[in-house]
Amino acid sequence: MFKRPRGTRDYLPLDNLKRKLVIEKFRNVFELYGYGEILTPAFEHLELLEAKAGPEVKEQIYWFEDKAGRKLGLRFELTTSVARVVGEHRSLPKPIKFYYIQPMWRYEEPQKGRLREFWQAGVEFIGSRSPAADAEVVALTIRALREAGIEDAAARLNSRDIIEGLADSKGIRVEDRDEFFRILDKLEKRGRDFVVEELNRIGVEKREAELLAEFISMEGSNEEKLEEARILLKNSDRGLNGIDRVSKIIQILENGYNLSDSVYVDYGIVRGLGYYTGFVFEIISENVREVGSVAGGGRYDDLIKLVGGFELPATGMSIGVERVIEVLEAKNVFAGLTCKAAKVLVAPVKSDYLIEALKIAEALRDNEISAIVDPERFKLRLLLDYADRLKIDYVIIIGEKELSEDKVTMRNMKTWEQETLKLEDAIKKILES
């Protein structure tokens, strides 16, 4: 017997209903902010996917050679594909605002909240360097998550420029920068001791590594954290520019979007993809932290030039749909949710009445009422049991008496009350219920 591949999952109707409800919330919010939906191929040229992926991610790409010998790979995120699209369609009016909701693939160790096939929803704001563009992306992400049911969604903000400034101040070699970022990104998951040990491994003295870890994990208000960074990075123009950028974004989020209680400076946010050039952020559920970040993104001003051939600044984000559902399940948001196969079961009690049952089912569907007919069962007891298991609201019974009177018998499966009436009257009652 075959089983599904490791790291994948099947969405049965109830699971898929949860996914559809969440995705619809995201779609509505994205469109409220003026983003248009984009669809791209599931696979791209491997060279494109590897362009700014970073060594760890490159190892996780599902790739293959086609019959012509071309190396292709399944997308593991969509930002690079969007950059390629923009490069191919240079005449698009700027700024460009795209959103997507599509499956991705990444070969990594499956665990709770992490699959090899997974869904992402995201937006890309292309053609603006303004901090207001970054703030919009953060604000709409928080709004989308709250609309979906994560009311305690909060954003943690940082800048790669600040982290680059730290690297400069500690003498981290250019060739070790990606590793430096990767190590800092592990602070929350692996702890301070791990980070200190790894920093020491790439040449940072233990005391300096401890001070770095302490800075990254500092507590305090946003103002206090930014001021502490200004003191530490006073000799780094890039670091100071990053601090100013984050400060401006926070001001816009607080004053333009009324999100003063939902955005925090966090120097441990680095993001794992190599194409980020400045501002970065992640979003968590403050009361379900064990799931980790449910969304994240940032600015990638160099990516379109790299893959599209011309310079165009950009910022964006992605939401992990499965992680969002995991948080919502922990919050019991889906409690009581049921997935009905249909609203009505049309139940012929003899096989001779099947054609009439099919006609009635079509009449129900013509009135936007979902209906099913079982072509195998004709015993009323079995049909009622089937309807009960499927959480059907009404059963319309077709028997000899009903046919002779040109009527139907309708049973309410919640109250078990039933009555015999004309089909048009039954339809009216169902629509009013």
Q: Pick the closest to residue 398 from 367, 366, 426 (CA basis).
A: 426
Q: How far is CA 325 from the centre of its chain?
A: 9
Q: Pick the closest to residue 284 from 246, 247, 245, 330 (CA basis).
A: 330
pLDDT in tens, 93-110: 999 999 999 999 999 998
Whole-number percent of the chain with pLDDT over 90: 79
The pair phi, psi for residue 101, each rounded to 5°, is: -145, 100
pLDDT in tens, 209-245: 888 888 888 899 999 999 999 999 999 999 999 999 9
pLDDT in tens, 50-107: 987 777 788 899 999 999 999 999 999 999 999 999 999 999 999 999 999 999 999 9
Strand 371-373 and strand 344-348: the pairing is parallel
pLDDT in tens, 31-51: 999 999 999 999 999 999 998
CATH code of domain 13-330 = 3.30.930.10
Whole-number percent of the chain with pLDDT over 70: 100
For residues 139 and 24, the answer to whether their CB atoms sit within 8 Å is no
Average pLDDT for 243-256? 98
Q: Pick the closest to residue 14 from 327, 337, 321, 323 (CA basis).
A: 337
Could you tell me the sign of the dihedral formed by the alpha carbons of 140, 142, 144, 147, in that order? negative
Partners of 282 in the β-ladder: 156, 296
Q: How many CB atoms lie within 10 A of CB 307?
A: 25
The per-residue pLDDT for 19 is: 97
The per-residue pLDDT for 225 is: 96
Cα separation, 280 vs 242, in Å, equals 10
- Same topology, domains 13-330 and 344-432? Answer is no
Cα separation, 272 vs 176, in Å, equals 15
The per-residue pLDDT for 174 is: 83
Our CA dihedral for 423, 429, 430, 433, rounded to 10 degrees, sits at 180
Extents of the domains making up the chain: 13-330, 344-432
For residues 427 and 408, the answer to whether their CB atoms sit within 8 Å is no
Our CA dihedral for 38, 104, 32, 242, rounded to 10 degrees, sits at -100
Average pLDDT for 361-370? 98
CATH code of domain 344-432 = 3.40.50.800
The per-residue pLDDT for 273 is: 62
pLDDT in tens, 395-417: 999 999 999 999 999 999 999 99
Residue 264 has pLDDT above 90, yes or no: yes
The per-residue pLDDT for 52 is: 74
- Mean pLDDT for the chain? 94
